[in-house]
Amino acid sequence: MAAADAAQQGPRGHRRRGGGGGATRVRPRAWCCSFGGAPDSPDLRPLPSSAASPAPAAAAAGTGAGRKLPPKSPSSAAASFYGSPTSSRLAGLGGLIDPRRILSPGRVSPIDPDAGAFPPPPLQLPLPPPPVPPASSVEDSAVLHPVEQPAAVLLASAALPSATVAPAPPPVVAVRAEADAAGGVLDLRLFLRGRDGRCVLMELDSRVLCGCSDFFAAMAPREDAAAGAGAGGKRIEVDGVENLDAFRAAVELMYDPHPVRCLAAAGVSRAIDVLEVCSSIMFNKGIKSCLTYIEAVPWNENEEEKLKNLFARFTFDEAISQDILARLRPHNWNSSDDLTVQLIQSVTSSTSTAARKDMQSLVNGLLSKSSVYQKDSSGLNKESLYQICYSCLESLVDLFEEAREPTDYTGQAVAVRGSKPLIERVSRQAENLNWLLEILVNNDIAEEFVELWAKQDMLIRMHEQASAMVRYELSRISAGVFIALGKGKVQCRGDVRSLLFRGWFSTMLLDFGWLQRCPKGLDLRSLEENLGRGLLTLPLRQQQCLFEEWFQFYATKGAECPNLIRAFQVWWRRSFIRSLVEPQS
């Protein structure tokens, strides 16, 4: 008994004897982590003295060694938890922490709270794998009845082994083989094998299949051969199918009472594929249904190219395909040039500013060299384009003559005839001529326009008499010509360039300030640079006259005059510095 008490005290515990009958009182003890062994857990309390005496008998009667724990109750577990050293800190977590997990500060017992209540479930063994289907199984199957009783039954599916796929068979290869009958009117099995290894097995009525397709009528087994098999079965195998889904859809179309509805649900691209299959198996009713649906719906560009390739490889009856051919091969226009000129004429005659800009962008996209719509490399009709230019110039001359007429308004720029002011009509014609010049430059046929503009003596004379709000539109046209000339996009003769600068250089100096205030998309920096480059292409004597005129005007107007200082320096170096050096050498 003394030994048991000593074991319960631990290394630092001791007894304090009190009075009153010599009863022994155990003082609460503290402990720390040491090598002396772990103290008893609150769950492993020693047995009371009353139960200590029968322990040897119980141990002798037990099946194994060790101390047997008494049954626990919820009240005892709660008491054990609140009696632990950390109960004051974890009191608020009462129901969240298992009291058996807390031994003491620094020690956590790995006790599963449910270990004693429920035994671990037995480990389930994996189920055996399903049996491997035979190699002759198919991916898809459809059972079709005649038109009176339409139905579809899908069977099991699986992919054929890759080893059984023949390399690159012909597009359609038919092999006849007899098989057992399916019973009833479904007396034929159609086995389709695609190039990708997939297969489709279809149970069909041979009368409908052979009646719709001459191809299957020639491949179907004879009645006497099928009866000789003992079960009256027929079987057709088709190998090397390019588009298995389209082939199946074409066969199903034979049993569909509303084929056009079926094609509409599939879409245009699938209908084109079905049309190709129907042509291959000589299914005339299917061909007519596909053409009827395809002609009645819009196509995108990919579907249009697909149709063109199909019509290039197959020949269809003209009576049923003429509507589609009319959409694919128009015969109204021999070339797009005439139509393009008509579009340009419509743009130049338009009175709506917003609509004219939209149409100009559209035509520019059609005429662009990188456009996907440009198919004809012969170019535009040059004579027709210049006829439009002549028309715009005549309209411009008429407008300036109108501006010279006396009016009762405060200025000539606001003279109105009809619904549009004069300045707006002049601006529209100037914009048309600039746009036409851009088209001519892009097609390398703008040399005649430069000569045409250089010879406009009447417009040059009317420029001096017109209001500045109107006349600067003429300088806008001259700016486009000077830029094209300075960039080298137009190669004109020397006399044409001299005539151009003699007539329109002075007007440019006068109107440059107005161009700065109303550029309307004009790049003034490019105008200054290319105006100087174009001026340097003239003879040196003419350059001197024009630079002297510019120098005097620049000294007076300053910023309202184009900056040609760099071109002036080049001319000075060419005219004087080199001329002094060359005689000495």
Cα–Cα distance, 71 to 423 (Å, whole number): 110
> What pLDDT, on the 0 to 100 scale, is given for residue 295?
94
- Is 50 exceeded by the pLDDT of residue 582? yes
**C-alpha separations of 32 from 7, 10, 391 in Å:** 16, 11, 112
Cα–Cα distance, 344 to 353 (Å, whole number): 15
HSE value, Cβ hemisphere, 13 Å, CA-based, for 40: 13
CA pseudo-torsion sign 468, 473, 475, 476: positive
Cα–Cα distance, 237 to 174 (Å, whole number): 6
Query: What's the pLDDT tens digit per position in 301-316?
Result: 999 999 999 999 999 9
Cα–Cα distance, 460 to 451 (Å, whole number): 14
Cα–Cα distance, 203 to 450 (Å, whole number): 78
Q: What's the average model confidence in pLDDT over 488-517?
A: 95
Q: How confident is the model at residue 257 (pLDDT cuts 50, 70, 90)?
A: very high
Residue 577 DSSP symbol: I
Query: What's the pLDDT tens digit per position in 356-378?
Result: 999 999 999 888 876 555 545 45
> What pLDDT, on the 0 to 100 scale, is given for residue 419?
61
396 close to 426: Cβ distance less than 8 angstroms: yes
> What pLDDT, on the 0 to 100 scale, is given for residue 577?
81
Cα–Cα distance, 98 to 81 (Å, whole number): 8
Stretch among 166-180, 278-292, 395-409 having the lowest mean pLDDT: 166-180
Closest CA to 490 of 530, 521, 524, 526: 530
Contacts 24+ apart (CB under 8 A), 83-88: 83/42, 84/42
Q: Name the helix (H) or strand (E) containing 226.
A: helix 223-228
Cα–Cα distance, 478 to 514 (Å, whole number): 14
Cα–Cα distance, 177 to 226 (Å, whole number): 10
Stretch among 212-221, 257-266, 371-380 having the lowest mean pLDDT: 371-380
* Residue whose structure tokens are 């074991």: 7
pTM of this structure: 0.60
- Is 80 exceeded by the pLDDT of residue 224? no
HSE value, Cβ hemisphere, 13 Å, CA-based, for 484: 29
- Is 50 exceeded by the pLDDT of residue 169? no
Residues 6+ apart with CB under 8 A from 353: 428
**C-alpha separations of 212 from 207, 281, 481 in Å:** 9, 9, 70
> What pLDDT, on the 0 to 100 scale, is given for residue 566?
95
Domain ranges in the chain are 188-221+232-328, 381-402+421-577
Q: How confident is the model at residue 110 (pLDDT cuts 50, 70, 90)?
A: low
> What pLDDT, on the 0 to 100 scale, is given for residue 137?
41
Cα–Cα distance, 417 to 320 (Å, whole number): 57
HSE value, Cβ hemisphere, 13 Å, CA-based, for 118: 5
Structure tokens that stand for 256 in this block? 């569909």
- More reliable by pLDDT, 43 or 399: 399
Stretch among 16-30, 357-371, 431-445, 500-514 having the lowest mean pLDDT: 16-30
Helix (H, G, I), strand (E, B) or coil at 111: coil
What residues pair up with 194 in beta bridges, in sequence order? 241
> What pLDDT, on the 0 to 100 scale, is given for residue 334?
56
374 close to 417: Cβ distance less than 8 angstroms: no
- More reliable by pLDDT, 470 or 74: 470
CATH architecture type of domain 188-221+232-328: 2-Layer Sandwich (3.30)
Cα–Cα distance, 512 to 521 (Å, whole number): 14
- Is 70 exceeded by the pLDDT of residue 165? no
